[in-house]
Amino acid sequence: MHTDTAFPAFRIHSDDAGYRAGIEAVTRATLTSGDTVIAAQYSSVNYKDALAGTGQGKILRRFPLNGGIDCAGHVVESADPALKPGDSVLVTGSGLSETSDGGYGAEVRIDARHVIPLPSGWSPRDAMILGTAGFTAGLALLRMQENHQRPELGPIAVTGATGGVGMLATALFAKAGYTVHAVSGKPEHADVLRALGASHVLARDAFLTTRPMDSVRFGGALDNVGGATLAALLAQTAPYGNVATCGLVASAELPASVMPFIIRGVSLLGIASAGTARPIRERVWALLAEHFDAATLAALPVRETGIDGLPAVFERMLAGASFGRTVVRIHA
């Protein structure tokens, strides 16, 4: 594509005319700076994308920007000799749709230090089935295992299990040898969660407690909810277990006691998918590739949309009506 060739992108504005987003024509010259140009083939939809695309969350730090916090495709050009034209690559957690133009357009320009080679045997679509949600689940597993989480400590609770991170974490932890207790407020999806590897599916209020410490129930947890749910997980985690926190869809508050930390040695690990150093991102994607082959990815519940279908996807996600992953076809 020539630098002056226009292509459609899902672009987000906030100015005197208000907050708005939609499809418009842009060119490479429009894009934020970077030493590498990627022809985007697929992106994905994450909760953060829905907040950014509707203005319900303060995600973008500058305007206007193309939406899409991740992308996968192939290199068009790069100042980095390690990246050759045609190389299959992906980008997550690197400021896309926050400080630079994101993946909801035919081209993405970004610095080479943010670009990761596509795992062997994966297509760009495969990579975006996981996308930022899968990266977040993988980072949680990596950090927990680095802090000595082991299957013998007990089952892993995954809250928000029907969301993108929760669904992929359920599958990932099960494949890594852990017994998974998936926590969800959507009992109609229990069979799917079991098919992904959950040994038990719990109602989201089934383990809540107001006690600062309670009987041990879990070896560790990945929490997407926050608030009372996170406090209850801490209160019921085994000695020296880890609770990874990456979401706050219920609350940003933590009504908890220090007792689980100082009596049981429980660790609370914050999982931040944005701004992660490249060596860590490479390790996370290697971990994901170890447990998700193309056949496993193909078995996950996935919808596909073009950028014109994004507003409807955002609406369903923010209403809590979505399930599974949505990949965004940019240029297949």
Specify the CATH number for the domain of residue 28.
Answer: 3.90.180.10
The answer to whether residue 311 is domain-embedded is yes
The answer to whether residue 2 is domain-embedded is no
The answer to whether residue 232 is domain-embedded is yes
The arithmetic mean of pLDDT across residues 139-147, rounded, is: 98
What is the predicted pLDDT for the residue at 269? 98
What is the predicted pLDDT for the residue at 249? 83
* Its pTM surpasses 0.75: yes
The answer to whether residue 220 is domain-embedded is yes
In a shared domain, residues 212 and 107? no
What is the predicted pLDDT for the residue at 1? 65
What is the predicted pLDDT for the residue at 20? 96
In a shared domain, residues 310 and 223? no
The answer to whether residue 179 is domain-embedded is yes
In a shared domain, residues 158 and 202? yes
At 2, the pLDDT band (50, 70, 90 cuts) reads: low
Domain boundary among the residues 221, 250, 270 is at 270
The number of folded domains in the chain is 2
Among the listed residues 138, 118, 134, the one whose alpha carbon sits nearest the alpha carbon of residue 46: 134
In a shared domain, residues 179 and 82? no
Tokens of 233: 């997980």
In a shared domain, residues 305 and 195? no
In a shared domain, residues 139 and 227? yes
Q: What percent of the chain has pLDDT over 90?
A: 89
Rg of the Cα atoms in the chain? 20
Q: What percent of the chain has pLDDT over 70?
A: 99
In a shared domain, residues 141 and 251? yes
Select, from the ranges 208-212, 264-268, 277-281, the one with the highest average predicted confidence (pLDDT).
Answer: 264-268
The answer to whether residue 290 is domain-embedded is no
In a shared domain, residues 28 and 103? yes
- What is the distance between the alpha carbons of residues 22 and 29, in angstroms, rounded to a whole number? 19
In a shared domain, residues 24 and 103? yes
The pLDDT tens digits of the residues spanning 293-304 come to: 888 898 899 999
Tokens of 164: 């993108």
The answer to whether residue 277 is domain-embedded is no
In a shared domain, residues 160 and 254? yes
The arithmetic mean of pLDDT across residues 199-227, rounded, is: 96
Whole domain around residue 204: which residue ranges?
Answer: 133-270
Among the listed residues 270, 265, 283, the one whose alpha carbon sits nearest the alpha carbon of residue 219: 265
Q: Provide φ and ψ at 314, rounded to 5°.
A: -60, -45
Would the pLDDT of 255 be above 60? yes
The answer to whether residue 40 is domain-embedded is yes
In a shared domain, residues 91 and 18? yes
Structural contact between residues 105 and 8, judged by C-beta atoms closer than 8 angstroms: yes
At 37, the pLDDT band (50, 70, 90 cuts) reads: very high
Structural contact between residues 289 and 265, judged by C-beta atoms closer than 8 angstroms: no
CATH number of the CATH domain containing 182: 3.40.50.720
The pLDDT tens digits of the residues spanning 312-332 come to: 999 999 998 888 899 999 985
Among the listed residues 197, 198, 143, 189, the one whose alpha carbon sits nearest the alpha carbon of residue 163: 189
The pLDDT tens digits of the residues spanning 59-105 come to: 999 999 999 999 999 999 999 999 999 999 999 979 999 999 999 99
Q: Buried (b) or exposed (e) across 53-70, using 16+ Cβ within 10 A?
A: bbbeeebbeeebbbbbbb
In a shared domain, residues 143 and 261? yes
Domain boundary among the residues 223, 254, 270 is at 270
Structural contact between residues 44 and 70, judged by C-beta atoms closer than 8 angstroms: yes
